[in-house]
Amino acid sequence: MKKIVILISGVGSNMRALLEARLPCTIAAVISNRADAEGLRTAQQHGIATAVVSHQDFSDRESFDASLAQTIDGYRPDFVVLAGFMRILTPDFVNRYVGKLVNIHPSLLPAYTGMHTHARVLQDGVKIHGCTVHFVTADLDHGPIIIQAAIPVLPGDTEHTLAARLLDQEHRVYPQAIRWLCQDQIELDHHGHVNLRFPKQVGYALISPGLE
């Protein structure tokens, strides 16, 4: 059975979704860069080992990433899963786990990389928003896409309402992506695209606003 390590910085709601999803893998540890991260207590309540590597203890990103990698490698995971880990990782760290480092981002990548995605979507008048699970590469928020979920942007939406509605979908697709990984159902082709070994594509469209 494959092993994963989850990295968090705060509450870890996506981490909780993974813990509760009964995934076909061993969650070896939850690691945070913040000792006060609420998600650490959640992991401990689920009987998961926890560790803290505080970025404040290091003078630069490279030193922090090296210590973080050493801690991760102690658990010998097959995959490293970012679940609200609020640190930009160095290229050396990312390359160390190429094809094994996974993240979820609150937009339909490659659109709206970076921060404040919900505010930017509302500012631009976008009608369909979403989230993306992807492999992490040194090019921020541009790694191969595993799965996406889309939701309509509703009249009167705020950053809060949009984020809350999208979070429900994050909690659905992230466990699915990790399940596929742990069951060896994902492969990268020579174009750097993700293919499912047993595709289950559903052929329907999300149209927003809806047609009359």
Catalytic residue numbers? Answer: 105
Using CB atoms within 10 Å of the CB of residue 42, give its burial: 0 to 12 exposed, 13 to 18 middle, 19+ buried. Answer: buried
Mapped onto helix, strand or coil, the DSSP state of residue 65 is helix
DSSP 175: H
Query: HSE-up of 72 (CA within 13 Å, CB side)?
Result: 25
Using CB atoms within 10 Å of the CB of residue 47, give its burial: 0 to 12 exposed, 13 to 18 middle, 19+ buried. Answer: exposed
Write the Ramachandran bin of 137: left for phi over 0, alpha for psi from -120 to 50, otherwise beta. beta
